[in-house]
Amino acid sequence: MLNLLEITPSYDDKKELESILDNKNITTVYQSIVSLVDGTVIGYEALSRGPVGSHLQKPDELFKVAQIYNKTWELEQLCRIKAIERADNLEKNKYLFINVDPHIFKDEKFKKGFTKDFLAEHNMSPKSIIFEITEKTCIEDYTSFRQALSNYVDQGYKIAIDDTGSGYSGLKMLNETKPHFVKIDMDLIRDINEDLFKQSLVECFVKLSEATNMKLIAEGIETEEELKTLIKLGVYAGQGFFISRPAGTFLDISNSVKDLIRKCRNLKKSINQNYKSNCIGEIVRQDKSFEYTSNCEEIKEYFNSNDITGACIVNNDIPVGLIMEHNLDSAINTQDGGANFAKSPISFVMDSNPLIVDYYTAINEVARRAMSRKNNNIYDHIIITYNNMYLGIIPVSSLLSYINIQVCNQAI
């Protein structure tokens, strides 16, 4: 939340704010929110700016000063009115996302500002309005807050939770409000194509949204690779500078971005159709396994004699671990008296928590789980079982090669 102690108010700030409010000198721009399924615009977020050239032009500075001088309500009301007044020509099948502080939902002035008559004057319906509530704002009384929200939802308005993943309310906010839309904070989106942990988090949000019928929107998409990754993860919609920058009117996105979204979505769909039904057991390699009592030297000789870099460790044919050749070499070389250590049971150095999957697990699910592991383990072999018994093993390189061949065949 805003720390007012870090801001030094000035007479010029106060005078400029009063001038903005008196003259209603707020500019509204709109940023497209786009379906990552087919590239169509589903709506626009209204963003407010101070006068061009003013030191309060940036919204962060504008709202900071308004909070200092207790003018937040007046400023937010002006921004909402301006956003709606300029939305007369918004297509009926598009949404208008309006940022709202959760504390003002019970305010009578707010209720009057969103009557059906007021919206009708500007050729709009409550069904077109999405109240976008930031997760960064603390809500002390969820009971009364839910009651206030219900009043609007019953009239046809919809609710979006903004900045999900950045604040401290998190899942509690989602559980208490049951929003129609969930907007993932841009900090989770930034460089998501390079961050497996972020991908796993967003994947969890995707599964949650599918189970609860909430629509997931990714904010702050700035690169093509981020966009591709979000499409691959199944995110419903997105916004950001790569898709389109805010503008003074309701613009469609460029054909190049729209074509990219559709191409990526079609490719994802084709890949899923091609190997989603294929189970991992169809490409298993039935390598030899070793009992957990086997010594390190025995398995080292096995690696040296075969073009194999990993082995499953079992206890009566039940997988209990995995040993990769480089890990075994490292363990032997770093021990005092390496020759003696080589006689030690492999259970001393094996990975006791490898990735183990059943024969009938879908290949895309195995790939997802393999790529979600820690960086140190991401290229470790995958153990395959049948009726919980060891069947074989799959190197990650073989798994990725199989998937790549499917993609190439589909592209042809």
CATH 3.20.20.450 occupies which residues in the chain?
4-267
This model's pTM is above 0.75 = no
Residues 6+ apart with CB under 8 A from 300: 328, 329, 332, 342
Which one is predicted more confidently, 289 or 275? 289
Long-range contacts of 199-208, Cβ-Cβ distance < 8 Å, separation of 24 or more: 199/229, 199/233, 199/371, 199/372, 200/372, 201/165, 202/230, 202/233, 202/235, 203/233, 203/234, 203/368, 205/164, 205/165, 206/233, 206/234, 206/235, 208/174
Whether the predicted pLDDT of 280 surpasses 60:
yes
Per residue in 190-232, pLDDT tens?
999 888 888 888 988 998 888 888 999 999 999 999 999 999 8
Which one is predicted more confidently, 110 or 373? 373
Query: Which option is the CATH number for 280-411: 3.30.200.20, 3.10.450.50, 3.10.580.10, 1.10.240.10?
Result: 3.10.580.10
* Strands ordered across the beta sheet of 289-291: 289-291, 310-315, 318-324
Please give the average per-residue pLDDT across 304-333, as a whole number.
93
CA gyration radius for the chain? 28
CATH 3.10.580.10 occupies which residues in the chain?
280-411
138: confidence class by pLDDT, cuts 50, 70, 90: low
Please give the average per-residue pLDDT across 292-310, as a whole number.
92
Residues 6+ apart with CB under 8 A from 404: none
What is residue 117's predicted lDDT score, i.e. its pLDDT?
79
48: β partners: 28
Whether the predicted pLDDT of 119 surpasses 70:
yes
Distance from C-alpha of 103 to C-alpha of 133, rounded to nearest angstrom: 10
323: confidence class by pLDDT, cuts 50, 70, 90: very high
3: confidence class by pLDDT, cuts 50, 70, 90: very low
Which one is predicted more confidently, 274 or 55? 55
State the DSSP H helix or E strand holding residue 239, giving kind and residue range, or none if neither: none
Please give the average per-residue pLDDT across 38-60, as a whole number.
90
What is residue 148's predicted lDDT score, i.e. its pLDDT?
80
Topology given in CATH for the domain delimited by 4-267: TIM Barrel (3.20.20)
**DSSP of 82-136, one letter per residue?**
HHHHTTTT--TTSEEEEEE-GGGTT-HHHHHHT-HHHHHHTT--GGGEEEEEETT
